[in-house]
């Protein structure tokens, strides 16, 4: 991963004050036990317990959506690790950890299967193969550092989702292009709507961003660049979390480098988070991962 040149970031940060806090990892406890009933996608499965079927969201990882590039491979990998009928044991910091993004409640847990008489965490194998991304969770952060280290290694080896050609050729030539991300999690006003991500083009030519995507750790918060979006050579574009008029800077002046997601895309200030940049390769709405950035709170 490349860092955005400080001089470029300073252009946008001149009016900003940046602060953040860090929350340390806590201890986990054993929770539910049961057997796998059905794998839903690369990071979610149903489990049969003594009290019925529950849906489990594996903590600390993020699989590509099932219909996106890499999604079928991630689901196949989880299915191979957790075939139907496999006994599993779950752990978490908080018994109440969970969410319901699709209307079905999912408990968030670290998932273990028995191997040679020991209960083994399943996530490291998926991360090491580049089948899923690391996904730092608020409140369930016991494995954040470990999982991020595994993701970094997979990225360096260009495995799975980190391969520059994982989803085919993009509309622009990846070779010779130098793109990097920078996230400001405390922008003007210090609210979620003031957060933004910058894409810097360190290449010697302009890059057409139409169909490219930036997102935080959740694909539900993806922002796709519209027709006409271009990041010029040795220049940047900015995507704010808030709603706004594309092509207009926050101060009201016309500037085609500014975009507004209005999708909930945001970066947490109290724990580690990740930003992604995908190109337009492939037949679906996603493409190759062109850069990613670990967003860590300042100590």
Predicted local distance difference test score (pLDDT) of residue 8: 42
Strand-pairing partners, residue 99, are 106
pLDDT string in tens for the chain (299-residue length): 444 444 444 433 332 333 322 334 568 899 999 999 999 999 999 999 998 999 999 999 999 988 888 999 999 999 999 999 999 999 999 999 999 888 899 999 999 999 999 999 999 999 999 999 998 888 898 998 899 999 999 999 999 999 988 888 765 555 668 899 998 876 655 456 678 899 999 999 999 999 999 988 887 788 999 999 999 999 999 999 888 999 999 889 999 999 999 877 777 666 678 899 999 887 777 789 999 988 876 55
Residue with tokens 């090491």: 128
**Helices within 129-180 (DSSP H only):** 144-156
List, as own/partner pairs, every contact residues 112-115 make where C-beta atoms lie below 8 angstroms and the sequence separation is at least 24, other chains included: 112/88, 113/81, 113/82, 113/86, 113/87, 113/88, 113/89, 114/87, 114/89
Alpha-carbon span 246 to 52, nearest angstrom: 49
pLDDT at 266: 76
In this prediction, residue 296 carries a pLDDT of 73
pLDDT value of residue 66? 86
Cα-based distances in Å from 148 to 64, 93, 155, 220, 293: 17, 18, 10, 21, 11
Assigned CATH class of 6-21+170-295: mainly beta
CA distance readout (Å), 90 to 41, 46, 94, 98, 142: 18, 12, 12, 13, 14
So what CATH class is 29-142? mainly beta
Determine the distance from the C-alpha atom of residue 229 to the mean position of all C-alpha atoms in its chain, rounded to a whole number.
Answer: 22
Which pLDDT belongs to residue 250?
87
Give yes or no for a contact between 238 and 12, defined as CB atoms under 8 angstroms apart.
yes
* All CATH 2.40.50.90 domain ranges in the chain, comma separated: 29-142
* pLDDT for the residue numbered 70: 92
pTM: 0.82
- Could you give the 3-state DSSP secondary structure of residue 81? helix
What pLDDT is attached to residue 192? 61
Tokens 């600390």 found at: 60
What are the start and end residues of each CATH 2.60.40.1260 domain in the chain?
6-21+170-295
């Amino acid at each position: 991963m490349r860092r955005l040149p400080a001089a470029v970031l300073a252009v946008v940060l001149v009016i900003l004050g940046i602060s953040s806090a860090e929350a340390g990892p806590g201890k986990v406890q054993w929770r539910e036990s049961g057997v796998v009933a059905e794998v839903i996608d690369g990071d979610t499965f149903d489990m049969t317990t003594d009290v019925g079927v529950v849906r489990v969201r594996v903590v600390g990882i993020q699989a590509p959506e099932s219909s996106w590039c890499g999604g079928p491979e991630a689901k196949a990998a989880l299915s191979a690790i957790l075939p139907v009928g496999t006994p599993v044991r779950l752990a978490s910091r908080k018994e109440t950890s969970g969410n319901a993004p699709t209307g079905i409640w999912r408990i968030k847990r670290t998932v273990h299967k028995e191997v040679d008489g020991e209960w083994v965490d399943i996530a490291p194998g998926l991360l090491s193969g580049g089948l899923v991304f690391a996904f730092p969770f608020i409140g369930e952060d016991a494995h954040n550092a470990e999982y991020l280290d595994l993701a970094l290694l997979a990225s360096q080896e260009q495995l799975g989702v980190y391969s520059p050609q994982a989803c085919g050729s993009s509309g622009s030539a990846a070779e010779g292009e130098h793109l990097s991300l920078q996230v400001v999690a405390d922008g003007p006003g210090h609210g979620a709507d003031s957060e933004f991500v910058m894409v810097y083009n360190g290449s010697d030519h302009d890059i057409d961003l139409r169909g490219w995507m930036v997102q935080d750790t959740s694909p539900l918060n993806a922002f796709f660049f519209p027709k006409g979006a271009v990041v010029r050579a040795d220049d940047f574009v900015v995507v704010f979390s808030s709603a706004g008029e594309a092509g207009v800077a926050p101060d009201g002046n016309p500037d085609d480098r500014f975009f507004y997601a209005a999708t909930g895309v945001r970066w947490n200030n109290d724990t580690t988070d990740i930003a992604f940049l995908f190109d337009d390769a492939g037949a679906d709405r996603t493409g190759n991962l062109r850069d990613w950035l670990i967003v860590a709170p300042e100590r």
